[in-house]
């Protein structure tokens, strides 16, 4: 089934100059339960909540859509809101996961943040939701 004008009717960021905000946009899922989606962000940045030093990570979001699929530009802008925010790595996985559930309402989702080494230690954290 091709993408229809109705599928696009609620999207405000795609194709427009848009401001980064902590909100995700969605469009209808035409596949029902027969689809898994993997999203990869290889260039994520945020800051240490104590020192303000920059932290760099890759983020993977794997989910099974229910009624909606996340629109990728809105995800890019959403992730950009963390750029100057101080957040512990483990908290980031939880924050992204809970926001993803709030806006996308997937059947299940797994958010993994994989931070580069800092002080000789690299941290990966995974948050899971099974609705």
Q: Provide the annotated active-site residues.
A: 48, 55
- Between CA 74 and CA 71 the distance in angstroms is 6
Which has the closest alpha carbon to 131: 96, 97, 105, 93? 105
Which has the closest alpha carbon to 84: 49, 122, 51, 46? 46
Q: Which two tokens stand for residue 21?
A: 């905000």
């Amino acid at each position: 089934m091709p993408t229809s004008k109705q599928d696009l009717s609620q999207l405000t960021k795609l194709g427009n100059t848009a401001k980064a905000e902590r909100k995700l946009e969605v469009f209808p899922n035409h596949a029902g339960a027969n689809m898994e989606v993997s999203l990869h962000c290889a260039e994520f940045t945020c800051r240490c909540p104590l020192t303000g030093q920059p932290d760099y990570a890759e983020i993977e979001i794997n989910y099974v859509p229910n009624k909606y699929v996340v629109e990728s530009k809105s995800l890019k802008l959403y992730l950009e809101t963390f750029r100057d925010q101080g957040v512990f790595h483990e908290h980031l996985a939880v924050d992204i996961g809970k926001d993803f559930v709030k806006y996308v309402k997937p059947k299940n989702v797994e958010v993994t943040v994989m931070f580069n080494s800092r002080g000789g230690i690299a941290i990966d954290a995974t948050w899971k939701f099974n609705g």
